[in-house]
């Protein structure tokens, strides 16, 4: 795989549609299979926004992982919310199948460690990562979610084939994807379906992964509480960063819209760094 700066667009035919993703490969790689991180943009956004928000390209260069940043149809992912209005606009889209195909497509161009495929995202992208963890547990080594959980329908009808390590980062004052769950809203108030609350989503994975019932609790700075549930193996880990008064934002990233619209961005930690450390500690098999 050749690296172009900052990433090269790649076209992939899936279900009679041309789909696109950006591929970023670190400049110096040896022949060893490398981790693959798939980063999913938020609803109504684009792949180009991901690096501006997260700084993932520089992180990939430093840590030596391959980064794929796909584009959702109409700027959205079908994360399983049957009542989300974008489903009416974009029609029947198999995003789970597309991301399956993307993993194979990237692996066909260079050595990818299939036991180290990770998915992260924010908002709609985070919920799509949650759907993949439920429906493609056998392919995903871990997920890292920011400001998003999952559709209740995905959890009600999903049966993960194996444990999946889950890192969940969420602000308690998120005005768009409420910490308590319920109706998702756009920055201008438009309803976008319903999602699970953070506590219900964490309980699902703690039970599914067979992790400890009582978490280890610690604090970070003045606004962040960290809870860690561990099982008999690292593949059972569930970790939650709860940001007091945090908004619909990427910790450590830019304040991409005014705080009255999306809430405040914490500077206590970098979500990108925390997510990569979590990924680096987990692999399938």
Is there a domain that residue 248 lies in?
Answer: yes
Residue 1 covered by a domain: no
Asked if 110 and 66 count as a contact pair (C-beta separation under 8 A), the reply is yes
Q: Quick one: angle between helices 56-63 and 47-54, nearest 10?
A: 70
> How far lies 243's CA from each of 170, 224, 238, in Å?
6, 4, 16
Distances (CA, A) of 27 to 23, 57, 130, 277: 12, 11, 31, 21
Residue 3, domain member (yes or no): no
Report how many domains make up the chain. Answer: 1
Evaluate whether residue 77 is within a structural domain: yes
In a domain, 132, yes or no: yes
Tell me, yes or no, whether 92 lies in a domain.
yes
- Domain range for 240 is 8-280
pLDDT band for 1, please (50, 70, 90 cuts): very low
Structural domain contains residue 96: yes
pLDDT digits (tens, 9 = 90+) for 130-185: 999 999 999 999 999 999 999 999 999 999 999 999 999 999 999 999 999 999 98
Confidence of residue 90 (pLDDT cuts 50, 70, 90): low
Most confident of 28-37, 220-229, 233-242: 220-229
Quick check: 114 pLDDT over 70?
yes
257 lies in a domain?
yes
What's the CATH code of the domain at 244? Answer: 3.40.50.1820
Nearest to 178 by CA among 118, 262, 56, 114: 262
pLDDT at 63 over 60: yes
Confidence bin at 89 (pLDDT 50/70/90): low
Q: For 231-243, how does the pLDDT look when each residue is reduced to its tens digit (9 = 90+)?
A: 877 789 999 999 9
């Amino acid at each position: 795989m050749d690296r172009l700066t900052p990433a090269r667009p790649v076209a992939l035919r899936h279900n009679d549609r041309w789909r696109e993703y950006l591929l970023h490969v670190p400049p110096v790689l040896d022949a060893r299979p490398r981790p693959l991180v798939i980063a999913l943009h938020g609803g109504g956004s684009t792949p180009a926004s991901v690096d501006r928000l997260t700084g993932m390209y520089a992180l990939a260069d430093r840590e030596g992982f391959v980064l794929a940043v796909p584009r959702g149809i109409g700027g959205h992912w079908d994360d399983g919310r049957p009542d989300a209005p974008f489903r009416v606009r974009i029609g029947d889209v198999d995003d789970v199948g597309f991301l399956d195909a993307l993993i194979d497509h990237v692996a066909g161009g260079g050595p990818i460690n299939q036991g180290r495929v990770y998915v992260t995202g924010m908002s709609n992208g985070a919920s799509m990562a949650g759907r993949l963890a439920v429906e493609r547990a056998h392919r995903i080594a871990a997920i890292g979610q920011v400001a998003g959980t999952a559709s209740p329908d995905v959890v009600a009808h999903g049966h993960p084939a194996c444990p999946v390590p889950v890192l969940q980062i969420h602000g308690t004052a998120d005005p768009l994807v409420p910490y308590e769950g319920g109706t998702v809203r756009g920055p201008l108030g438009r309803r976008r379906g319903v999602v699970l609350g953070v506590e219900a989503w964490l309980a699902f994975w703690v039970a599914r992964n067979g992790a400890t019932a009582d978490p280890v609790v610690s604090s970070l700075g003045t606004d962040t509480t960290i809870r860690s549930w561990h099982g008999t193996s690292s593949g059972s880990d569930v970790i939650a960063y709860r940001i007091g008064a945090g908004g619909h934002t990427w910790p450590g990233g830019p304040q991409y819209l005014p705080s009255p619209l999306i809430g405040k961005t914490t500077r206590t930690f970098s979500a990108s760094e925390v997510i990569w450390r979590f990924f680096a500690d987990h692999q399938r098999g």
